[in-house]
Structure 1
Amino acid sequence: MPETKACGFLIVTGNPIESFLLMRHKDRWDLPKGHVDPGEDEMTCALRELEEETGIKAKDIEVDPDFRFTLQYVVHYKKRMGGVTALKTAVYFLARLTKKVELNLTEHQGAEWFPWNPPHAIQEQTIDPLLAAVAEHVSR
């Protein structure tokens, strides 16, 4: 089975966390993330995708150096990769917004800041496990 990798961020506000950002697709919530380009490392990919999809720049965030969360799941790409089924690895980093920014959405129908109130039940396959891992991480 072909494999793909995508990297992205969970962006939060406040210390302790007050809210987190999710992006709206037509049928689900997602995070700012995207596929790794050839020769690109995970963090570079995540920062590039964050800016491309939200307008949030690296200078607007503080990355938590101790958090990295990975998920693997099977996806069927309708357009990308010519309609193949692949094993996708998604790598997520955690970052805190350090100043107010105006979102500039380029690939999503909308975005919303959700209140931080674990446990969360938003999207069982990807978002809920990530949020649970963040909740555990920040409680240490």
Structure 2
Amino acid sequence: MALRACGFIIFRRLASCVPPPDNIEYLLLQTSYGEHHWTPPKGHVDPGEDDLTTALRETREEAGLGVEHLRVIDGFLQELRYEVRGRPKEVLYWLAELRDPGTAVTLSDEHQDYRWARLEEACTLARYKDLQDTLRAAHKHLEAQQEKQ
């Protein structure tokens, strides 16, 4: 059975003279273990817990951001599949906007740093192609929503 984790691609819109979607930054957390890789907040599903509840719980635990800080964006859900130490892993990511761009991030012991980054910097930090593809898909989703308005 595959390990299952859930989380959020969290973004904020900067109030600036930069037109959308260039005013968007994504939150990445740097792990305090292993290779100190950068990742959005995510974590393993607890027994009896549904996927979205897991994503919300893990985001609160890892970044100090709860449902009161986030607005989940309709129509975006990405599933990544890869191996970790020879075992299959599935990760589901929803997309969520930080309601107040100035809200502080509070890291857990699992992470040593965080960064808000525009798309290309976020993709460079992310390193893994499937996560880069997910960030780009999130950005395209936001661009498409912007065009509808």
Q: Tell me the TM-score normalised to structure 2 length.
A: 0.80
Measured after TM superposition, the shift of residue 135 of structure 1 is 2.2
Stretches of structure 1 lacking an aligned partner (at least 5 in a row): 77-84
Question: 8 Å contact 2:26–2:122 — kept in the other structure?
Answer: no
Q: Percent identity?
A: 34
User: Aligned pair count?
Assistant: 131
Letter in 2 for 1:104: T
Q: For residues 39 and 8 of structure 2, what CA distance do their matches in structure 1 show?
A: 10
Q: Whole-Å Cα distance in 2 between the matches of residues 46 and 62 of structure 1?
A: 13
- Runs of 4+ with deviation above 6 angstroms: none
Provide the C-alpha distance between the structure 2 equivalents of 1:116 and 1:72, rounded to a whole number of angstroms: 22
Q: Which moved more, 1:46-55 or 1:116-125?
A: 116-125
Name the one with the larger helix percent: 2
Q: What is the alpha-carbon distance in structure 2 between the residues aligned to residue 39 and residue 105 of structure 1?
A: 26
Shift of 1:118: 8.2
Shift, 1:126, TM fit: 3.6
User: What CA distance in whole angstroms lies between the structure 2 residues aligned with 1:119 and 1:51?
Assistant: 21
Counterpart position of 2:147 = none
Q: CA RMSD in A?
A: 1.9
- Listed as ranges, the gaps of 5+ residues in structure 2 are 14-19, 145-149
Please tell me the residue identity of whatever aligns with 2:27.
Answer: L
TM-score, with normalisation over the residues of structure 1? 0.85
Aligned equivalent of 1:80: none
The answer to whether the Cα contact below 8 Å between 2:28 and 2:122 also exists between their aligned partners in 1 is no
Change in CA separation of 1:119 and 1:3 when aligned onto 2, cut-off 3 Å: closer
- Write the letter of the residue equivalent to 1:132: R
CA distance in 2, matches of 1:105, 1:43: 20
Residue 103 (str. 1) matches residue 105 (str. 2) = yes
Work out whether residues 55 and 105 of structure 1, in 8 Å CA contact, stay in contact via their aligned partners in 2: yes
Q: CA deviation at 1:34?
A: 0.2
Hey, what does 1:61 align to over in structure 2?
Answer: 70
